[in-house]
Amino acid sequence: MNSSVTAGGAERLAALACERYERRFGRRAAAVAAAPGRVNLLGDHTDYNEGFALPMAIDRRAVVAAGPGGSERCRVVSLAMEEEAEFALEAPAAPGWGAYAHGVAIELAKLGDGSAPFDAVIASDVPLGGGLSSSAAIEVAMCLALEAMWGIKLDPLERAKLCSRAEREYTGTPCGLMDQLVACRAVAGAAMLIDFRSNESTSAPIFEQDVAIVIAHSGVAHALGDGAYAQRRAECERAAALAGAASLRDVTEADLNLLAACGDEIALRRARHVVRENHCALHGAEALRQRNYEWFGRLMNVSHASLRDDFESSCPEIDALVRNALSLPGVLGARMTGGGFGGCIVAMVRVEAAAGCVERLIAFTDGNRSSCFLAQPSAGAALMQF
Contacts of 285 (CB under 8 A, 6+ apart): 54, 191, 193, 202, 204
Which residue type is seen at 333? G
Nearest residue to 245 (alpha-carbon basis) of 265, 228, 267, 276: 267
Catalytic residue among 179, 210, 250, 264: 179
Element (H, E) at 280: helix 265-289
Give the integer Cα–Cα distance in Å for 342 and 235: 20
Half-sphere exposure of 115 (CA within 13 A, CB side): 18
Cα–Cα distances in angstroms (integers) from residue 82 to residues 78, 103, 132, 160, 382, in the given order: 6, 20, 20, 27, 25
Could you confirm whether 179 is annotated as catalytic?
Answer: yes
Cα 63 off chain centre by: 15
The angle, 0 to 180 degrees and rounded to 10, between the axes of the packed helices 156-171 and 134-150 is 120
Q: What is the 3-state secondary structure (H, E, C) of 334-371?
A: EEECCCCCCCEEEEEEEHHHHHHHHHHHHHHCCCCHHH
Rg, Å, the chain Cα set:
20
As beta bridge partners, residue 64 has 33, 122
**DSSP state, residue 378:** B
Q: Which residues form the catalytic set? A: 179
